[in-house]
Structure 1
Amino acid sequence: MVLQTLLILSAALALFHISKAFLVLAKWVWASFLRPVKDLKEYGSWAIVTGPTDGIGKQLAFLLARRGLNLVLVGRNPSKLSSVSNDILKLHSSIETKSIVVDLGTEVDKGMKKIKEGISGLDIGILINNAGTGYPYARFLHEADEELVERIIRVNVESTTKLTHLVLPEMLKKKKGAIVNIGSGAGSLVPSYPLNTVYASTKA
C-alpha cells in the first residue's frame, strides 16, 4: 500500500513537472512564432538603445529601424556610433537617428543629464537597456579591483535604473511604452558563478 502511494505521488510529481515544462515551451512557441506582429510605433516614434555599437544592441537597433522607429543611440565611442548610425540610415532612409556620447561607466549622473537634454521633446516609446560590461577575464571576487567592481555596477545597475527612472514618467503619463533590460544567462542559468560574481549578480 505504501509503495503504491509512493508510486502515485511520484507519477503525479513527474506529471506536474512535465506539464510545467510544456507550458513554458508553449509560451515560447506562441511568443516566437504564432503571436501577431505588434506595431512598435504604437508605443511612440522613438526608441533608445544603449550599447548599440556591437552585438545584441547593434542588432536590436537595426531591427527597430526596420520596424520604422527613430533611434536614440547611446554609447561611449563617437566613431562607432557614427558608423552604426550611417549604416542604419543607408538601409532605412525614412527614419531619424540621434547619437548621444556618454560613458556610463564613469559619468552616470552627468550622462543622465546629457541624455535627458538629448531626448527632450521626443516621443520615446521604447527603451532598450542593453549596455553592459564585465570582467576582462574570469577571477574571484577578492581578486577584482575596486575600480572594476564599481564600473560594472555603474554600467549594469546604476545606469539601467536611472535611465529607466528618466523615461518611465512620460510612458506612464501616456499609458504606453516598453522597457527591455538585457540580462545574461550568467545570472540565471548558472547556479553559482564564482569567477564572475559581480557580473552575474548585476545581470541576473
Structure 2
Amino acid sequence: MVSHSLSAWLMSSAPPPAWFAALVAVGMYTALRSAATFLAWLHRAFLRPGRDLAGRYGTWAVVTGATDGIGRAVALELARAGLHLVLVGRSPDKLARVAKELAAAAPACKVRSVAFDLAVTGDAARRGVARVAAAVEGRDVGVLVNNAGATYPCAAYFHEVEGPVWEAVLRVNVEAATRITRALLPAMAARGRGAVVNVGSGSSVVVPAFPLYAVYAASKAYVDQFSRSLSVEYKQYGVDVQCQVYILLPSNSRRSSVVINQGFYLVAFKHPVPMVGLAVAVLVQIPLYVATKMSPVKGASPFIPSPEEYARAALRCVGYEARCVPYWRHSVQWFLASLAPDAALNHWRLQTGLQKRNETKALLGGKDCS
C-alpha cells in the first residue's frame, strides 16, 4: 500500500504524502542534530581555549592526592599557570619532594603542604580538614581539585570485601571530598568566584554497571551527582563545580593497610601477592586509562595519555561543563560504549571481572584478596 502510493506520487507532479514529508523532516532534524553535536565535540576537544584560572578564580589552588601521577601533574600545570599551591597528601616526604619540583618548575609559586590521611574519619578527619582550612586562611583560593580516590585492589563480590576496606573507600571518595569541599566552598561563594573540580570515574557513568567493584562505582556516582548538583546551586554565586571523568589504577603494593600512591588510595591485600598478580587483577578497570606508576600499562599510547598530557587536558576543561571527559580519545571510547546494549556491557564487565578475580584467587592459594 505504502509502496504503491509512493510509486504513484513519484510518477505524478502531486505534492508528497504527509507521511513522507514527516519522515524527511525527522531525518533532516536528526542529521542536523548529529552534525551540531559533532561540531560541538570538535570545538570542545580541539578549539576551545582554557580559562585564565588565576585571573578568573583566584591565585591559590588546593590539590588533594598531589604527590604522584595526575595529582602531581595537575599541581605542576597549575603552578605554571601562575597559581600558588596547597598540596594535600598522606606522605610528608612525597609532599616535600613535589614542593621542590614546583619550586624548580615555577620559581614564583608559593607552596604550602598539609599531611592528611584522607582515609581517617571522625575527629581525626575533622582535625585534618581544619588543617587544610588553616593553610588557606587569608588566601585567595580559587581552585579546589579533589583528586585523591580510593578503591579495593581487585575484583570481588561485595560480601567478600572486608568492612574496613569498603569503609575506607567511602571515607576517601565520599566523606573526605565532601568535607574539604564544604570547608572551602563558602569563601569562594562569598568572593563570588571559584572552581571546584571533583574527579569522577567512568565506572559510574560510561558503563551501566560496574560489577565486582560495586562500592567504588557507587562512591564515584555520588561524586558525579554531588558535583552536578553543586554546579546548579553555586553557578549563581560565580563558582563553577565540575566532575571530570577518567580512570586511575591501583599501585603495586603489598602493604596490609590503606596506602597512598599516585594520588590514589589503595586498600591493599591482606595476603602477600606477587607483583605480576596485582597487575593482572587491576586490568578489570574499564578502558579509560592514564599511564602512571600504579598502572599495569607502562607508557602512553593513543588511548592512554601520560599524566602530564592528561593534566593539560583536564585544566583546559575547568569552568565549562558540569561533567566532562577531558581527554578527547576517552570521549571517543565513551561514545563507542554508548552504542552497545546495556545487557552486553553488563555481561562483558561481569565476565571480565570474574576472570580477573579467579586469577587473583589462584595466586593467593584460593583466598580472597580484599
Structure 2 residue identity aligned to 1:70: H
Secondary structure class of the residue paired with 2:144: strand
* CA RMSD, Structure 1 to Structure 2 (Å): 2.4
Map residues 31-50 of structure 1 onto 2, 5 A cutoff.
Answer: 31-42=44-55, 43-50=57-64
Q: Aligned pairs, how many?
A: 203
1:183 and 2:197 aligned: no
| Counterpart-to-counterpart distance in 1, 2:2 and 2:187 | 61
For residues 72-119 of structure 1, the C-alpha deviation after alignment (integer angstroms, 9 at most, x for no partner) is 000001111111111111111011111100001014222111111121
* Kept after mapping to 2: 8 A contact 1:104/1:159: yes
For residues 117-156 of structure 1, the C-alpha deviation after alignment (integer angstroms, 9 at most, x for no partner) is 1211111000001010101111111111111111111100
Q: Which one has the largest radius of gyration?
A: 2
* Kept after mapping to 2: 8 A contact 1:72/1:98: yes
Structure 2 residue identity aligned to 1:186: S
Structure 2 residue identity aligned to 1:151: A
C-alpha change, 1:191 and 1:14, in structure 2 (3 Å) is farther
Give runs of ≥4 in structure 1 deviating > 3 Å: 1-6, 8-16, 18-28
C-alpha change, 1:9 and 1:112, in structure 2 (3 Å) is farther
C-alpha change, 1:22 and 1:179, in structure 2 (3 Å) is farther
Map residues 109-188 of structure 1 onto 2, 5 A cutoff.
Answer: 109-188=126-205
Alpha-carbon deviation of 1:53?
1.3
1:61 and 2:78 aligned: no
| Counterpart-to-counterpart distance in 1, 2:119 and 2:206 | 26
- Runs of at least 5 residues in structure 1 that lack an aligned partner in the other structure: none
Cross-structure match for 2:85? 71
* Kept after mapping to 2: 8 A contact 1:41/1:69: yes
- Runs of at least 5 residues in structure 2 that lack an aligned partner in the other structure: 7-18, 222-370
Give the TM-score, by structure 2 length. 0.51
Structure 2 residue identity aligned to 1:118: A
| Counterpart-to-counterpart distance in 2, 1:198 and 1:2 | 54
Give the TM-score, by structure 1 length. 0.89
Secondary structure class of the residue paired with 2:150: coil
Cross-structure match for 2:96? 82
